[in-house]
Amino acid sequence: MSNSYATAGARPTSRWKQFIKSNLLTFLTVLGVFGGTALGLTLKNSAEPWTQREVMYIQYPGDLFLRMLKCLIVPLLVSSITSAIGSLDLSMSKKIAFRAIIYYFTTTVCAVILGIILVSTIRPGAGREVSNLGGKATTRQVLTADTLLDLVRNLFPPNIIQATMFQVQDFPLTQYKITSEFTEGTNVLGLVMFSVVLGTCIGKMREKGKPLLGLFETLSEAMMIITSWVIWISPIGVLFLVAAKLLEMASFVEVLGQLGWYFMTVMLGLMLHGFGTISVIFFLTTRKIAFPYIAKMSQVLATAFGTGSSSATMPITIRCLDNMGIDPRVTRFVIPVGATINMDGTALYEAVAALFIAQLRNIHLTFGHIVAVSVTATAASIGAAGIPQAGLITMVMVLDTVGLPAEDVTIIIAVDWLLDRFRTTINVMCDALGTILVNSLSKKDLSGDANGHLELAEPHELVELRPDQKE
């Protein structure tokens, strides 16, 4: 009897140890966010204004972490999408792509509409002065048509190697003369398009394509192993990235006094969309509560907040969903596409920012203008790169729709870095929930398709592909 009592008494302790062990990285990453905040505020209040070089020293460990993650993006993106598409038959690929695109389009439109409703109701810019709100930002004169044309051009890069480093942008020189040049930054849209076409071709080749498919599957697996090594540095990287940003910031109390209502409007919109709209769509589609899944994404969300980059967070998101038992073929297709085109938080922020600036300028917007802002913010969010503060660049396109000068983007620059981290977190959460949703809708199709592709699966995927496997 005593032995049984001892065993029973030891079980809770062993469970707690197992829980802490399995969630240690998550706890450390969340601790890194709070530790970075505490360190940044402490250093900011303990000395004279910090120079750029001193801030650079603080940010250095975080920069190294970001560089490691960004190094994985291109090989992981290409190999994941190609292997995912290539291992499915064409009809299954079409179904998954269709479901993912419908989900992304629906959530983006909902985000824009929610943002417009909030900014029109709260009116954060009404009756406020704009003279002392300016900041520094790099802008370029650009037309909406140019941005949309660049979006399509980037889908078809002339050089796939060049697409890993540059993307094309138009610059109007005169009314009729336009020049194009390649600007620094990975052309993710072009790489996604190339990977989808290549994966479709490999799937169509069947037996002949298996050696090439095996190459991409092995590369994808190798990238995930390297990711599992890199993410153990994430608590340290996130800590120093957050601390450095706080040191760069001017007086937060003063900034909130000037842009407080705008900041609160965007934050309210992001929270309502992330934990309201997306959760409702998730429940109506899967008949499951989203919050238990969100709780399992703590480390992913903390990394997204710390880095401010959905692309840099992508390897960690894929690994997290793999651990949750989501079909790897769905994860490796939906997540890279979502990190490229699905920017709900950015779409909401750009709609709110454009109308906020119009309110500051006392410009009355008609219903037609608001509809134009909605469409443009949706298109701009698709074209935004998954890098920190990329929304500021596409923001110029939205301002042009309302007839506001590009320089007005400097009005919101003071709080953009912080809002950028919150909207990136919502973007990543939306991508992950979308993957779970598509996996749930495709479960029957995937179980049937798995029988013809068991020989292509990795050993750990064979368990996940069983038809009777629970989610």
Question: pLDDT per residue over 153-191, tens digit each?
Answer: 777 888 888 877 777 666 555 555 556 666 666 777 788
CA distance 156 to 135: 36
How far is C-alpha 28 from the geometric centre of its chain's CA atoms?
21
Which positions ≥6 away from 238 have C-beta within 8 Å?
A: 29, 32, 33, 36, 62, 65, 302, 303, 305, 306, 307
- Domains of the chain in start order, with CATH, are 23-447 (1.10.3860)
CA distance 58 to 66: 14
Q: What percent helix, strand, coil does the chain show, rounded to 5?
A: 75, 5, 20
Average the pLDDT over each of 78-92, 196-210, 270-284, 321-335 and give the range with the smallest value.
78-92
Q: What was the pLDDT predicted at 245? A: 79
CA distance 211 to 247: 51
Would you call 171 helix, strand, or coil by DSSP? Answer: strand
What average pLDDT score do residues 28-51 get? 83
Residue 383 pLDDT grade (very low, low, confident, very high; cuts 50, 70, 90): low
- Which is more confident, 98 or 152? 98
- Which is more confident, 402 or 105? 105
Share of the chain above pLDDT 90, in %: 15
Residue 146 pLDDT grade (very low, low, confident, very high; cuts 50, 70, 90): low
- Whats the size of the chain, residue-wise? 471
pLDDT at 306 over 50: yes
Q: What was the pLDDT predicted at 279? A: 93
Q: What was the pLDDT predicted at 272? A: 95
Average the pLDDT over each of 76-90, 201-215, 229-243 and give the range with the smallest value.
76-90
Cβ(326)–Cβ(435) below 8 Å: yes
CA distance 168 to 157: 9
Closest residue by Cα to residue 412 from 199, 245, 255: 255
Residue 448 pLDDT grade (very low, low, confident, very high; cuts 50, 70, 90): low
Average the pLDDT over each of 16-30, 36-50, 137-151, 209-223 and give the range with the smallest value.
137-151
Q: What was the pLDDT predicted at 135? A: 46
- Tell me the HSE value of 307 on the side-chain side, using a 13 A CA sphere: 33
CA distance 172 to 327: 46
Residue 70 pLDDT grade (very low, low, confident, very high; cuts 50, 70, 90): confident
pLDDT at 277 over 60: yes
Angle value at C-alpha 306, between 276 and 311, nearest 5 degrees:
80
Residue 252 pLDDT grade (very low, low, confident, very high; cuts 50, 70, 90): low
pLDDT at 396 over 90: no
- Which is more confident, 217 or 132? 217
Model pLDDT for residues 455-469, shown as the tens digit of each residue: 444 444 434 444 444
Average the pLDDT over each of 38-42, 154-158, 287-291 and give the range with the smallest value.
154-158
First to last CA, the chain: 38
**Average pLDDT score over the chain:** 78
What average pLDDT score do residues 277-293 get? 93
Q: Which two tokens stand for residue 79?
A: 């190999």
| pTM reported for the whole predicted model | 0.73
What average pLDDT score do residues 218-238 get? 86
CA distance 62 to 70: 12
Within 10 angstroms of residue 250's Cβ, the number of other Cβ atoms is 10
